[in-house]
């Protein structure tokens, strides 16, 4: 191949029209890497499974009392996996355990605890080990968000968010990863968000935390993949759960298109089988994540202000008074 042909193929120009200004970017694609990626990462599911056999193995799901975590529990139990469920609301965990027992006859262990307590991840790990359980699949899902202006943001609540969304997830990953790499199999799904791909105004701590989860998981994916362990970041867009009630914007789901937890979990497990380093359920969410990478950072962050900017109404307004607009996703 001629030198000029190689240059064009590997570094092709991309022209973007941003509000009348034309921006020319050069996108570099290392072709050999692309073909190697297709052979390994995107290998068909049947060729090399992440979990040799789901049945009769144990999965630990954090934040299993509702939403995405509860759905993971249902789907994994349907595949014959035994489950360790953890969250703070004991009644919901017990109800779910009964449901799984009735429907699938699998074993379920419950641990009630607050993972934003710095000692809790190790306590959980020790307790699980003392019951002689080996965790084959870890789903680091527990998390919450907060939407609000600078004045509305409570510093202690943000520390709690950091401890739960980032510190507990990191601790559990490093507690379970060495055992998995030693055995040569296992999987970890760390729940990030499409908010991981850009800063989001009015939820700066949450979006920065999810960027951490994405980068942390991808870096470990690269390290662990040759050891038979897959670590994947799950980056959902808006999903119908209690998340937005907890975040203080309960009417968000009424105004946005959202995915079901069933869809998110199905896409996630399919991607794990393909040993992907991250997955974004939904084409619109995926395209959005690509778009923000190409657009100027200032423009991106200013654009996010529209999502959660408080709007005054006749009653005086508040952060629940969200703007009426067609935002595709964010959480």
Which residues belong to the active site? 206, 210
Q: Does 142 bind ligand NAP (CB under 6 A)?
A: yes
| Contact residue for ligand NAP among 68, 137, 177, 233 (CB under 6 A) | 68
CA distances from 302 to 38, 199, 200, 202, 307 (A): 36, 9, 9, 11, 10
Residue with tokens 């789907």: 75
**Maximal CA-CA distance, the chain:** 69
Q: Does 99 bind ligand NAP (CB under 6 A)?
A: no
Closer residue to ligand NAP (CB): 115 or 180: 115
CA pair distance 143, 243, nearest whole angstrom: 9
CA pair distance 168, 122, nearest whole angstrom: 9
Contact mark string toward ligand NAP, 182..221, x via CB under 6 A: ---------x-x----------------------------
DSSP lists the bridge partners of residue 81 as: none
Q: Give SS3 for 270.
A: helix
- For the chain, report the end-to-end CA distance as a whole number of angstroms: 46
For residue 87, give the H/E element and its range: strand 82-87
Least distance (Å) between residue 319 CB and ligand NAP: 17
Please give the residues from 35 up to 64 whose contact with ligand NAP meets the rule CB under 6 A. 63-64
Q: Does 263 bind ligand NAP (CB under 6 A)?
A: no
| Contact residue for ligand NAP among 148, 236, 281, 310 (CB under 6 A) | 236
- Residue least distant from ligand NAP (Cβ): 67
Interface contacts to ligand NAP, rule CB under 6 A: 63-69, 87-89, 114-116, 141-145, 164, 191, 193, 236, 238-239, 241-243, 246, 331
């Amino acid at each position: 191949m001629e030198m000029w042909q190689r240059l064009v193929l590997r570094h092709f120009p991309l022209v973007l029209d941003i509000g009348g200004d034309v921006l020319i970017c050069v996108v570099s694609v290392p072709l050999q890497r692309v073909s190697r990626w297709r052979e390994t990462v995107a290998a068909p599911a049947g060729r090399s499974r992440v979990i040799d056999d789901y049945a009769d193995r144990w999965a630990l799901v954090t934040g299993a009392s509702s939403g995405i975590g509860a759905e993971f529990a249902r789907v994994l139990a349907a595949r014959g996996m035994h489950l360790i469920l953890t969250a703070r609301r004991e009644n919901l965990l017990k109800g779910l355990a009964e449901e799984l027992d009735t429907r699938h006859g699998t074993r379920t262990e419950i641990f009630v605890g607050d993972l934003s307590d710095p000692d809790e991840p190790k306590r959980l790990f020790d307790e699980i080990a003392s019951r002689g359980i080996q965790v084959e699949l870890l789903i680091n899902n527990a998390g919450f968000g907060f939407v609000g202006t600078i004045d509305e943001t409570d510093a202690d609540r943000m520390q709690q968010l950091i401890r739960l969304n980032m510190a507990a997830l990191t601790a559990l990953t490093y507690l379970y990863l060495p055992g998995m790499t030693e055995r040569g199999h296992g999987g970890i799904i760390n729940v990030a968000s499409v908010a991981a791909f850009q800063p989001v105004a009015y939820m700066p701590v949450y979006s920065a935390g999810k960027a951490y989860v994405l980068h942390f998981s991808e870096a470990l994916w690269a390290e662990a993949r040759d050891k038979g362990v897959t670590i994947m970041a799950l980056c959902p867009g808006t999903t119908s759960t209690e998340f937005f009630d907890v975040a203080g914007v309960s009417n968000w789901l009424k105004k946005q298109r959202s995915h079901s937890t069933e869809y998110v979990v199905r896409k996630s497990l399919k991607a794990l089988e393909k040993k992907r380093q991250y997955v974004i359920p939904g084409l619109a969410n995926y395209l959005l994540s690509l778009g923000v990478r190409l657009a100027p950072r200032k423009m991106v962050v200013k654009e996010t202000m529209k999502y959660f900017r408080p709007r005054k109404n006749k009653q005086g307004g508040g952060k629940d008074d969200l703007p009426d607009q067609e935002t595709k996703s964010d959480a």
